[in-house]
Structure 1
Amino acid sequence: MKAHHFTSLIIVAVAMYTPAQSTNQPSSNYRYQLPLQLALDASLEAIRVCTANGYQVTATVVDMDGIAQVELRGDNATVHTQESSYEKAYGVVTLGPMFHFDTSGKFFELTKTNPYAPRLATVSHVMALPGAVAFMKDGKIVAALGVGGAPGGDKDEVCAQAGVRKVADQLSR
């Protein structure tokens, strides 16, 4: 058998055994990449607000894929603040669209009222404590800003809200 004929047979065989795309899968073609400057501006604002209140924090922006886009550790923030800021934001980005919450504070409240929600808080890289706020575009969560390090997640969340609010009007462009 000639090499090119053998190659053609392999291609046909692979095509025959490649599973077809299911038409039942949800159509999730919506993609948005938060511009770097907006992620930076929001993170810096969150740190500024927390610092003004005497809190040493880390601010992390997590994109739609659950990847940290920006992580800024403020002056004197301890090492654990990186993990908490990321995990709060990751929870909002990955679980928020399914369970209809746009802050980790709302996720925290959900764990108290929904008998199944506490189990979600045990998923890897998810922290169900206040401190993260979603960036919204066209009614969809497109990223989240998590803050960790203040003495209480409620204080972290105030800083995250300030950061997101600083750039929110630029998301509609």
Structure 2
Amino acid sequence: MSIRTARLSLLGLALCAANAFAAPAQIEQRSDVSLALANQLLDATLAACHADGRSAVAAVVDRGGNLVAVQRDDNVGPHNTLAAQRKAYTALSTKTATRLLAERARSNPEAENLNTLDELLLLGGGVPLQVGGEVIGAIGVAGAGGAAIDEGCALKAISQLLPQTH
């Protein structure tokens, strides 16, 4: 056996031994919004808006802020699609309903600076989705006729599909 082969063998054994004593990797199990749940939430949200004679756009993002699904009623202004997605992203990112966040921003000069972040939208209608106290995503609603109405449509859907969270 050559010296080079012996060194490589020892190096291989050392690497294997180090891995044998390493702590096992931790794999986190996290809940997330599935496409099926997102579509159920969107259907229920728009149904709640329709029950009040309103049209809207609703969007759901997952725990990473990625758009999972969006539904838009006919004749709703095109700007509302992006607004719904940004409301959902804001609710997820801050783990706070956007209506409450907007109220806080009006009364707190430091929080008001959140308006300078392009991704955030401080208008009511975004609500975090929680399961077991963990935020798994968020829903945003726009175009129903105001922040309180937008939020109300989302809350009705959440209470139907995720009743333990609100």
Aligned to 1:17: none
Shift of the 165–125 alpha-carbon distance from structure 1 to 2, 3 Å rule, reads same
Distance 1:91 1:130 in 2: 10
CA apart distance, 1:82: 0.4
Structure 1: gaps (5+ residues): 1-7, 9-28
Percent of matched pairs sharing the same residue: 29
Aligned to 2:48: 49
CA apart distance, 1:170: 8.1
Secondary structure of 2:103's aligned partner: helix
CA apart distance, 1:30: 6.2
Distance 1:151 1:157 in 2: 10
- TM-score, structure 2 length as denominator? 0.77
Aligned to 1:88: 87
Matched, 1:136 2:135: no
CA apart distance, 1:109: 1.3
Aligned to 1:65: 64
Matched, 1:160 2:154: yes
Secondary structure of 1:89's aligned partner: helix
Q: 1:62 is aligned with what amino acid?
A: V
User: How well do the aligned residues superpose, as a CA RMSD in angstroms?
Assistant: 2.2
Contact 1:145-1:164 at 8 Å conserved across structures? no
CA apart distance, 1:76: 2.1
Matching residue within 115, 119, 143 for 1:121: 115
Larger radius of gyration: 2
- TM-score, structure 1 length as denominator? 0.74
Aligned to 1:36: 35
Matching residue within 108, 115, 118 for 2:102: 108
Distance 2:111 2:137 in 1: 21
Structure 2: gaps (5+ residues): 1-7, 9-27
